[in-house]
A and B are shown apart, each in its own frame.
Chain A
Amino acid sequence: MLSKKILIIDDEPDVNTYLEAVLKSNGYETFSISDVENAMDRVKEIHPKLICLDIMMPKETGISFYSKLRKDKDFCKTPVIIISGVVESEKFNIHSFISDKSIPAPECYMEKPINVKKFIKKVEQLTN
């Protein structure tokens, strides 16, 4: 059986290492990128089943990448978990960051630091 591909986008190498370790030990194939500007190319290259995305990154924010992804005809349905420390889970609202109301909310938002069990459960749910 082919393992499920997950792309992690975070400028912080330690976060990438952590999430990769968690996902790999649960049987997923992981890819990580710390340069969000090239993330869309990576998506087209690896066709991930799920994307884990940070918000605050240099040059371009995760929100800006998320908008592009949702407007892309091939990848607009790819599930996204936003993992950030910007706001608390219950207060997260994508439209406080982007004015375009046609862009749907991400499948999941998780506040840093993550709860590993809940994270894996969500990943399983979104990749099945």
Chain B
Amino acid sequence: MKSLVVNKTPKRSENIHNLILKELYQQIPDNICVIDPDFNIVEANNNFAEHFGSWQNKKCYTVYKKLDVPCDNCPTMDVFSKGKPVVCDAIGIDKNGRKTHYIAHSFPIKSKRGNKIEYAMEMTRTVTETDRWQQEYHILFDRVPCFITVIGEDFRIVRANEAFRDNFGDVAGQHCYKVYKRRRTKCKNCPAEKTFNDGKVHHSTKTGIGKQGQKIHYAVSTSALMRGTDSVAHVIEISNDITALKQLEHKVIEAERLGAVGQTVAGLAHSIKNILMGLEGGKYIVSLGLAKDDKAMINQGWEMLERNFEKTTSLVKDFLSFSKGRLPELKMIDPAGLVNEIIDLYKDIAAQSGISLKSEIDNKLKSAPLDAAGIHTCLTNLVSNAIDACLMGEQKGNEVIVKVYEERGQLLFEVKDNGSGLDNEIKKKIFTTFFTTKGGGGTGLGLLTTRKIVQEHGGKILVDSQKGKGSKFKIVLPRKRLMTLYKETKE
């Protein structure tokens, strides 16, 4: 362009000017047409023809909108009557019969004398794509089945989508913490605040209060909305309603608890049946002794009766301590400390029986919400069982190892022995009945109690055992579940 200016002569300059106009007329990415006062299109560029189809000898309303009469609010008419440019947006029909949304700029073209408007030139730019994108964005924003809010630096909600409004009310302009949690101050560990500080995505699980006072559990992610490159102007919060999931989780824990109760009752019945058998036996032998006038037999029967009455007493006592229907009292404690306590408690007993009792503790272990007394009971039961299993086994060099460690978000306590081990039938029954392998010495409540406490912590107990080789009992406590229970008990 610079050389054109330097070398210009009036004639040459006019030629170049015309060339540029001609090129511009065809190459501009807009549709251009020229309309006379009778709505006839008298000229149009290639883009126009490509978009709206043939225009020669046709009225503008026929080409733009496939109509037989002029449009209402005709911009061309305004141009002719007012002599000023007019901008409007309209929806027409393209050459393929599809709806097309466009913005039209109409200008007057005056006669050479300048006193008469001879034509109107219309430049139209289709906005169908942009418009569709915008519509899609609105639908997505409003209809997506999660809560979306845009939050400003002052923690006020700038925009909220339909799902959010349905659950929390129409709350634009209010502080997010007030809306989500009815708080007067910012929440602790606010993910939005973290995103404002570092511009990164943050996740969190929270419990809020809906517009009808209902509890809403949600998993929230916050992302930065940057204007320019310097700072975060807004944060977008996307939350998934996980209330149903939480309720389901709660139900599962509850079902496990009830399941344990059911099995306990079945186990209790089994225990009572055994005692009744002993009582019936005592009664039978006493009667037999009386009939035969056999004092020794009467004594034998009487002793049987006494023994089984005693068993009833101790069963009732054990059962009452087992059935204490209390929620675990969860406190943040060091799991390693519990293992050390158990080792101290059983060290001497194990040593006296020639069993080596060891601990393996993961030193990096973080504290966890546990019921100290409950887990203490579990470990006591498992370690005492392990020692008994060693005494019953025939192997020499017995050892019991108590481990505590973490694996894939789960806290694990493990009690391993190389004692007698369990055969397959026993393995199936150990948690389902008041089963004891200790003859008259056990009530069979130890493992049931252990499982009950573990389930109350939202965990499970696994057993791996081989007859003659030993057993490994593993208490698996998912940290997420522990935290959920911890929050619930605190609330």
Contacts and interface: CB of A to CB of B under 8 A. Distances in A.
Contact of A112 (B274, B392, B425, B439): B274
B277 A61 contact: no
Nearest to B300: A17
Nearest to B433: A86
Interface string B238-255: 000000000000000000
Contacts of A12: 274, 277-278, 439-440
Contact of B425 (A17, A85, A97, A111): A97
Given A61-B423, A97-B425, A114 B277 contact: yes
B438 A58 contact: yes
B433 A17 contact: no
A14 B392 contact: no
B273 interface: yes
Contacts of B300: 17
Nearest to A25: B288
Interface in A35-82: 56-61, 63-64
A13 B441 CA distance: 12
Interface in B340-382: none
B196 interface: no
A52 B242 CA distance: 57
A30 to B, nearest CB: 14
Given A22-B284, A56-B429, A64-B423, A14 B438 contact: no
Chain A interface size, as a band, is 20 to 34
Contact of B284 (A21, A60, A86): A21
B304 A17 contact: yes
B278 A61 contact: no
A1 B438 CA distance: 41
A14 B282 contact: yes
Given A12-B440, A56-B435, A61 B307 contact: no
A29 interface: no
A103 interface: no
B429 A112 contact: no
Contact of B277 (A15, A57, A60, A97): A15
A116 B284 contact: yes
Given A17-B300, A59-B392, A114 B438 contact: no
Interface of A: 11-15, 17-19, 21-22, 25, 34, 56-61, 63-64, 85-86, 97-98, 111-114, 116
Interface of B: 269-274, 276-282, 284-285, 288, 297, 300, 304, 307-308, 392, 420, 423-426, 428-429, 433, 435-440
Given A18-B280, A64-B425, 19 more contacts: A11-B439, A13-B440, A14-B282, A17-B281, A18-B277, A18-B281, A21-B297, A56-B429, A58-B437, A58-B438, A59-B392, A59-B420, A61-B426, A85-B271, A86-B270, A97-B425, A113-B273, A113-B276, A113-B279
